A and B are shown apart, each in its own frame.
Chain A
Amino acid sequence: MSRLDLIQGNEACALGAIKAGVRFFAGYPITPSSEIAEIMARELPKCDGIFIQMEDEMGSLAAAIGARLAGKKAMTATSGPGFSLMQEHIGFAVMAETPVVVVNVMRGGPSTGLPTMPSQGDIMQARWGTHGDHPAIAFAPKDINETFWFTVEAVNTSEKMRMPVFVLMDEVLSHMREPMEIPDQVQTWEAPPIENPESPFLPFKEGTEAFAPVPIFGQGYRFHITGLTHRPDGFPTNDPNEIERKMLRFIKKMEILQSEILDKNPDMHYEKVELEDADVVIVAIGSVARVAQAAVEDLRSQDIKAGLLRPKVVWPFPEKPLKEIDGNVQAVFVAEMNQGQMVYEVERILKKTPVHKINQFNGMLMFPSKIVEAVKSTLR
């Protein structure tokens, strides 16, 4: 039996995580994400889960990684400044191939910035925030229902891919309330158990990049975890062949994600709205995508054939639907609440279509009229 409830984005995120099997949350108060921690503090003990408030965001992600390596699905949630502090541990989770979900409720930046106002200024930080070559997966929900379901997907994808996964929300989404059907159960993915570990135990051997067991401490095998570049047995190496083998695992992960998950479920990767006959296409994510959708309707009522392409998973970026429209539309507009980040990705993919930026970075959610005017003045 599902139940209908009027809930906030932060609540949807917390409830989605618990339904997806998250039983460990370590966090630190920061506006506008604090309610996620508050709900976890209240709800997790009821389902035999653990909530810990840490001394800062570095500790929060470190504890979540530790908890996952001890066998509990783990998550943390934060906002801009806290996401900055977490970057080192994001890299560690990538290197140690540890599933963990990091929710970033984006607020205006840089620095303390705008604690109570929305932005999409962390799109590139989610991709390249931690140092070194690394893969990245980021979900970008646009409403309360999606916040719930994308958090579930983030947990599952993180488990399948053995790596950290981000959920990029924003202040509008986190504090807005909408009705949603909360299901009793959701489909979860459990990493297969390790049976009869061979000696030496090779937790990072070929074939374990994704859909593989996640080694857990205390299960009878010697499991060595380090942020140093390591061999299949987990121990550090300076051997160029071994280094390359480890680094190629990251590329392999993203290939598997693309072929086994995203290509099979394009609906999970992106949404197309009125693209079939579109002359102009708007690309937007999150709460701005809703604004863009209103703009599309407005433009259509003025006989301008507009469409919307909305990445639901922003990293890896959906290249296929963009390549499909390349050369077949007059122009593409990238609408973002920042000074232009996702637009670089769109420009990189499109070879034949002019790309225009629509940016707003004053702490206010964009209005549809801004997009409508930008499109009309360009077409004119």
Chain B
Amino acid sequence: MATKKARTLRDLARMKRALAPGHRACAGCPFPVILKILMSATDDPLVIANATGCMEVTSTIFPYTAWPVPWIHNAFENAAATISGVESAYKALKRRGKIKTEKEIKFIAIGGDGGTYDIGLQSLSGAIERGHDFLYILYNNEGYMNTGIQRSSATPMYASTTTSPAGKVIPGKLQWRKEITDIMIAHQAKYVAQASPSHWVDFMKKVQKALETKGPTFINVISPCQPGWNYPPDMSIELARLAVESKYWILYEYRSDANNGLGGYKINYRPRKEVSIVEFLKPQRRYRHILDRPELIKDIEDHIRRNWERLERLEKELPLEE
């Protein structure tokens, strides 16, 4: 695989393969950044299947497309099923010598959290079980933002959305986010990771590792949403950083073939100093109703601590050596 090295933002800025200007993503939306990092990670030809969602809608308004690569949108629930067909047909054509290029074509499916955690989980599960050679990128903005900010099973506890509205009695959503990264690990996907656009070198390396790996791979990328999380539009990357620093969003990776098939975990980033979750919650108006409810904030802190401890134990027990 032809990987590219970028260490500074200047390097990244020089990289040509990116979402073209003129797309209609909201001011401050980080997914164009996520896509730039994704597509800059390799020189290999890419084919991308995109589930219904704000990325699909805002990047392809007729007669324009912001995508520099072949791209297919099918429906909401089936990006992984669609890429399964594309990848299988490619393999068959290659076997019969009908693919002209010597280059290795890479297949990527991209979905938001609604199209991945909820309606698309079945199709993703099937594609990973069948073992197609593809990378699934989940850009996780923690809700159905395209249809007007409804809760998804990625929406965190106590966040207010239009279908989990915070009121006098109910403080927003009452369920924890489903840990889909664990679900992918349980599928024994070859390589599984969580990433953040704020730690873009880490994210790019993860994309490269995933694309180098034969078989199904999965990366869950946090993607703060200005209208959905309701914060000033210049704060998206900063919020992604605060999510990582507060351990709300853990950067880690997993390989199913490590430790003789027992699997291996690695936490890629350990915050050096403690950052309170309040710093992450405070700029977001979806949490404003809990800022004066210390017992609810403690719930979130406890949940974060449990997740971190669990992952540290897994890492200790099943370390991933590079």
Contact = CB atoms under 8 A, between A and B. Distances in A.
Interface in B107-125: 114, 117-119, 121
A40 B146 CA distance: 19
Contacts of A30: 147
A112 B163 contact: no
Contact of A81 (B73, B76, B114, B165): B76
A130 interface: no
A180 interface: no
Interface string A105-145: 00000011000000000000000000000000000000000
Interface in B152-170: 153, 162-165, 167, 169-170
B76 A29 contact: no
Interface in B18-57: 52
Could you tell me the dominant secondary structure of chain B's interface residues?
Answer: loop
A233 interface: no
B169 A34 contact: no
Given A37-B150, A45-B170, A56 B119 contact: yes
A51 B174 CA distance: 13
Contacts of A56: 77, 118-119
Contacts of A42: 165, 167
Range of interface residues on B (Cβ < 8 Å)? 20 to 34
A28 interface: yes
Given A55-B118, A56-B118, A41 B165 contact: yes
Given A37-B150, A56-B118, A112-B52, A29 B77 contact: no
Contacts of A31: 146-148
A29 B155 CA distance: 14
Nearest to B119: A56
Contact of A55 (B119, B163, B165, B170): B119
Nearest to A38: B162
B247 interface: no
Contacts of B117: 55
A353 interface: no
Interface in A72-103: 81
B147 A34 contact: yes
Contacts of B265: none
B144 interface: yes
B75 A51 contact: no
B151 interface: yes
Nearest to B117: A55
A55 B121 contact: yes
A42 B163 CA distance: 7
A293 to B, nearest CB: 32
Contacts of A41: 162-165
Contacts of A45: 167, 169-170
Interface in A48-82: 51, 53, 55-56, 81
B170 A29 contact: no
A29 B148 contact: yes
A53 B147 contact: no
Interface string A22-33: 000001111100
User: From DSSP, what is the main secondary structure of chain A's interface residues?
Assistant: mixed
B20 to A, nearest CB: 22
Interface in B68-105: 73, 75-77
B151 A53 contact: yes
Contacts of B77: 56
A45 B170 CA distance: 9
Contacts of B170: 45
Contacts of A37: 150, 163
A42 B170 CA distance: 10
A29 B114 CA distance: 10
A29 B151 CA distance: 9
Contact of B150 (A34, A55, A81, A112): A34
B163 A51 contact: yes
A35 B77 CA distance: 21
B52 A29 contact: no
A3 to B, nearest CB: 21
Given A34-B150, A112-B75, A53 B52 contact: no
A6 to B, nearest CB: 20
Q: Which of B144, B148, B153, B162 has the most CB of A within 10 A?
A: B162
A64 to B, nearest CB: 15
A168 to B, nearest CB: 20
B144 A29 contact: yes
Given A29-B163, A42-B165, A34 B148 contact: yes
Contacts of A38: 148, 150, 162-163, 165
A220 B22 CA distance: 64
Contacts of B118: 28, 55-56
Contacts of B150: 29, 34, 37-38, 53
18 contacts: A29-B147, A30-B147, A31-B148, A34-B148, A35-B148, A38-B150, A38-B163, A38-B165, A41-B165, A42-B167, A45-B167, A45-B169, A53-B164, A55-B121, A55-B153, A56-B118, A81-B76, A111-B75
Given A37-B150, A45-B170, A112-B73, 16 more contacts: A27-B163, A29-B147, A29-B163, A31-B146, A31-B147, A34-B162, A38-B150, A38-B163, A41-B163, A41-B164, A51-B163, A55-B119, A81-B76, A111-B75, A112-B52, A112-B76
Interface of B: 52, 73, 75-77, 114, 117-119, 121, 144, 146-148, 150-151, 153, 162-165, 167, 169-170
Cβ-closest 8 pairs across A and B: A56-B119, A29-B147, A55-B118, A29-B150, A41-B163, A38-B162, A29-B144, A34-B147
